[in-house]
Structure 1
Amino acid sequence: MPSRNERASDALIVAARRTPIGTAGRALAGVTAAQLGAVVLEAVASELEGPPAEVILGNCMGPGGDVARVAALEAGLPSSVPALTVDRQCASGLAAIELGARLVRAGSAPVVAGGVESASTAPWRYWPPRDGEAPVRYERAPFAPPADDIDMGLAADLLAEERGVSRQRQDAYAAESHARAVLAAARGEFADEIVPVGGVVADERPRSGLTPERLARFPATFREGGTVTVGNSCGINDGAAAVGIVPVTAAGAAGRPGLRIIGAASAGVAPTRPGLGLVPAVEQALAEAGLGTDDLDVIEVNEAFAGQVLACYDALAIDPARVCLGGGALALGHPWGASGAVLVVRLFTQLVRQGRGRYGLAAVAAGGGQGTALVVEACR
């Protein structure tokens, strides 16, 4: 029987595209989740040799009705192509790609997988009325049972305090993320990965001239005396990303470059510290790949909160200077269900389109105390 690592090596990412990332209520405010998903599905599917055998999209706060199916039909894919929507909160897009790779290894190919989120058009939801009272709106779905259902921002603040991540370090990291994203955009680094949407061709959030000194003026957001602020946290955003996954043998026969998936894992941690969820996922995915962090050439981690990811880097002994070299979610934005897929698109650009190295890692933590990680090897 083949080893787990041999089975993982059967899946190759040969196409990867994303939309621009918009700030909620602004550039992409009139574009629904299904419409955003359709844009990247159409782009990725056009790079495959035939229609996909399956479409899988992650989504957190969409309208329901199987957003992946609606997006696939809107993209013009044949009605015979089935589609599945998955929800692992912020890890949904990366979990969809992990699931897609496993389907390819099982013989279903090609697969188009990724994620989508439209915070701008997410429907308002209410708990049913009780005892004659008016319905009560809730801002988010529960992450965990009531006793452990802590808000992500507060959890990040408490994690930063427990792990000794200072406010100064968080602000400096956030400023660097913006600076890197602005420079990458100016170099045209995102041009080949972005599919324009309604005339929007660039990410909306990155800010030039955002210094640690400017960020230091922001007050704590989630608790008095805390260190997490709107300046060192991600935004609320709209966007979509998807990849095309085929068997390595098929891609090899066609001479196509890509990213071979050599490690993939999802893991759980205490729901009261959800930001740490990516740590065991990374450890498991690297173990499957037979690699250590020093072997990685490109690392993309979802920057939900500076304090949270810095605590994770410390736990994994990763130098923050090596992560998200083109800026991360602090600058580019965090369209929840899509963000994990955005990380893989960024890996594809750097490792395949630009040839920056051999091995890459994508990792994201999720509400409720989960994390997903993917390790890839460039095949050129």
Structure 2
Amino acid sequence: MSGEAKLDDIWLAAGVRTPFAKVDGGLSKLDVFGLSVPVVQAMMAQLGGKKPDFLTWGSVAPDLGFSNLAREICVEAGIDLTIPSFTTILACSTSMVSVFSAAGMLDGRGRELALIGGVESMSHVQVGLGHRLSNWLRHMLQARSLGDRVRLLGHLKFGDVRLDIPSVQNRATHKSMGEHTEEMAKTWGIPREEQDAVALASHQGAVRGWNEGFFDDLVIPVGGVARDLIPRADTTLEKLGKLKPAFDKTSGRGTLTAGNSSPLTDGAAAIWVATRKGLERLPAGVPRVRLVDWDVGAIDLWHEGLLMWPAYGIPRLLARNGLTLGDVDLWEIHEAFAAQVLCHIKALEDRDFVRQKAGVETDLGRFPRERMNPNGGSTALGHPFGATGARILSQAVKELAVRPAGSRAVVSICADGGQGTIALLEAG
């Protein structure tokens, strides 16, 4: 499905986020509330006593303690509880699809401004009981007599005693995202050296962005941490090249490593979605750009690369807007893995793939790699699943807003299940 209605009046304004840190690292003492509440409070402070018309928040790792995370965060943040709030989830695209949902809800009839965000605390992932053990325990607690309890004890089987431990694995295929991407890298012939080069550029861009002050108004201090803890100023191709394969460890052909893959990450991020009238509630200095078009899509995960959908969606997005790859001034592509980014690029430059798989006859030309992720991507900055969409969109908004009017950006995120989200932005 694609967004067309009312998009001439939908804008994105850059939000703030926490620093990002590896799982069990510098932010490990903070759960989803400890990470999200400061971000929501900082965003609300920008409004000077005004309020958004609604709020959405998302997280991917499940928690049995609540069903509507967004509402609980509003309560914890102490903000106006007349603001309706709801929770979204679409794997790594969670807070990006929230932006699209908000774009469809803003209507100029009292709904003008939405606060969107997401969070992941991989340091606080809840372990649950298996379904059979859960059912047995529930019946045991409901038993009204000793005899009933004794009878139920006989119903419990050794195989029922198990824990459900959330993992970064597709439920249907039983393969991790890294294992699927290894398959994609082999299919598309992506060498290890090219993956390491993308990872190095990501770290260099992130470090440069921090040193030059790019992130100063995008990141707020949280939990005693003031800047991202993952980018490495000292990494080199030589150091990256010494790391061992992380997913295919036995074939001798594994190319994905801890260095060219995004790490499990803690963090929260937010962004504004507004009509032109809604922008009036924000400070004048907050960067903003227009949302021109968007797409959410899916492919057959059994027969196509699990993280390949953006390579199908981007040609269609460009074609219906009369654009080629070279017409886009800024590319922000989520780096779940450097190999996945390179698979997308190779597919976009393959005329047969674009014609046969995406159904686009136009010659899109060469992908301008020099315009991609100038201030680092997820490999270097980190990837808190629910927060990545807001992070990458806010980053793109700030990067694009200072460029000449009419400059364009494409933002792309792949997601588990053979899905993904893409957006076309334009400087106003």
Normalising by structure 2, we get a TM-score of 0.81
Unaligned runs of 5+ in 2: 134-155, 350-366
Against the structure 1 CA distance between its residues 113 and 253, is the aligned structure 2 distance closer, same or farther, given a 3 Å change threshold?
Answer: closer
Contact 1:289 1:375 in 2 (8 A): no
Against the structure 1 CA distance between its residues 290 and 98, is the aligned structure 2 distance closer, same or farther, given a 3 Å change threshold?
Answer: farther
Which runs of structure 2 are paired with 1:350-361 in the superposition (5 Å)? 350-352=399-401, 354-355=402-403, 358-361=407-410
Deviations along 1:337-362, one digit per CA (max 9) or x if unpaired, are 1111110111122122x447721121
- Matched residue SS, 1:363: strand
Partner of 2:158: 132
Does residue 248 (structure 1) correspond to residue 276 (structure 2)? The answer is yes
- Matched residue SS, 2:87: strand
- After TM superposition, give the deviation of residue 94 of structure 1 in Å: 0.8
Which of 44-53 and 118-127 deviates more?
Answer: 44-53
- Whole-angstrom distance in 2 between the partners of 1:127 and 1:283: 43
- After TM superposition, give the deviation of residue 116 of structure 1 in Å: 1.0
Partner of 2:312: 280
- After TM superposition, give the deviation of residue 138 of structure 1 in Å: 2.7
- Whole-angstrom distance in 2 between the partners of 1:251 and 1:245: 9
RMSD between aligned residues: 2.3
Contact 2:108 2:275 in 1 (8 A): no
Partner of 1:328: 377
- Whole-angstrom distance in 2 between the partners of 1:285 and 1:227: 31
Against the structure 1 CA distance between its residues 250 and 52, is the aligned structure 2 distance closer, same or farther, given a 3 Å change threshold?
Answer: closer
Equivalent residue letter for 2:106: V
- After TM superposition, give the deviation of residue 115 of structure 1 in Å: 1.4
- Whole-angstrom distance in 2 between the partners of 1:141 and 1:331: 19
Which runs of structure 2 are paired with 1:275-354 in the superposition (5 Å)? 275-287=307-319, 289-317=321-349, 318-352=367-401, 354=402
- Whole-angstrom distance in 1 between the partners of 2:404 and 2:333: 17
Compare CA radii of gyration and give the structure with the larger one.
Answer: 2
Partner of 1:238: 266
Equivalent residue letter for 2:119: V
Partner of 1:122: 125
Equivalent residue letter for 2:348: L
- Whole-angstrom distance in 2 between the partners of 1:194 and 1:321: 25
Which of 104-113 and 331-340 deviates more?
Answer: 104-113
- Matched residue SS, 1:362: strand
- Matched residue SS, 1:294: helix
- Matched residue SS, 1:120: helix
Partner of 2:170: 143
- After TM superposition, give the deviation of residue 286 of structure 1 in Å: 3.5
Against the structure 1 CA distance between its residues 122 and 109, is the aligned structure 2 distance closer, same or farther, given a 3 Å change threshold?
Answer: farther
Contact 1:110 1:247 in 2 (8 A): yes
Against the structure 1 CA distance between its residues 207 and 141, is the aligned structure 2 distance closer, same or farther, given a 3 Å change threshold?
Answer: closer
Deviations along 1:2-42, one digit per CA (max 9) or x if unpaired, are x9545222211234211111111111111111232222222
- Whole-angstrom distance in 1 between the partners of 2:20 and 2:94: 17
Contact 2:112 2:278 in 1 (8 A): no
2:245 counterpart (212, 220, 235): 220
Which runs of structure 2 are paired with 1:150-299 in the superposition (5 Å)? 150-223=175-248, 224=250, 225=252, 226-251=254-279, 256=284, 258-272=288-302, 273-287=305-319, 289-299=321-331
- Whole-angstrom distance in 2 between the partners of 1:302 and 1:111: 23
Partner of 2:102: 100
Partner of 2:412: 363
- After TM superposition, give the deviation of residue 331 of structure 1 in Å: 0.5
- Matched residue SS, 2:273: strand
Deviations along 1:28-66, one digit per CA (max 9) or x if unpaired, are 111111232222222223324721121112210142432
- After TM superposition, give the deviation of residue 74 of structure 1 in Å: 2.1
Contact 2:329 2:409 in 1 (8 A): yes
Deviations along 1:170-211, one digit per CA (max 9) or x if unpaired, are 111111211121111111111011111122110000111211
- Whole-angstrom distance in 1 between the partners of 2:21 and 2:281: 38
State the identity as a percent.
29
- Whole-angstrom distance in 2 between the partners of 1:113 and 1:29: 23
- After TM superposition, give the deviation of residue 141 of structure 1 in Å: 7.2
Equivalent residue letter for 2:94: S
Following TM superposition, where does structure 1 have runs of at least 4 consecutive aligned residues deviating by more than 4 angstroms? 252-257, 287-290
Deviations along 1:260-317, one digit per CA (max 9) or x if unpaired, are 1111111101325221022233334434544332222221111011111111122223
Against the structure 1 CA distance between its residues 22 and 180, is the aligned structure 2 distance closer, same or farther, given a 3 Å change threshold?
Answer: same
Equivalent residue letter for 1:94: M
Equivalent residue letter for 1:23: K
Unaligned runs of 5+ in 1: none
Contact 1:35 1:71 in 2 (8 A): no
- Whole-angstrom distance in 2 between the partners of 1:368 and 1:106: 35
Against the structure 1 CA distance between its residues 285 and 42, is the aligned structure 2 distance closer, same or farther, given a 3 Å change threshold?
Answer: farther
Say how many residue pairs are matched. Answer: 374
Contact 2:169 2:176 in 1 (8 A): no
Which of 293-302 and 48-57 deviates more?
Answer: 48-57
- Whole-angstrom distance in 2 between the partners of 1:4 and 1:194: 30
Equivalent residue letter for 2:73: A
- Whole-angstrom distance in 1 between the partners of 2:414 and 2:107: 25
Equivalent residue letter for 2:294: A
Contact 2:46 2:283 in 1 (8 A): no
Contact 1:264 1:288 in 2 (8 A): no
Does residue 52 (structure 1) correspond to residue 101 (structure 2)? The answer is no
Deviations along 1:94-146, one digit per CA (max 9) or x if unpaired, are 1111111111147533111121111111212342337333213333276343x
Contact 1:149 1:271 in 2 (8 A): no
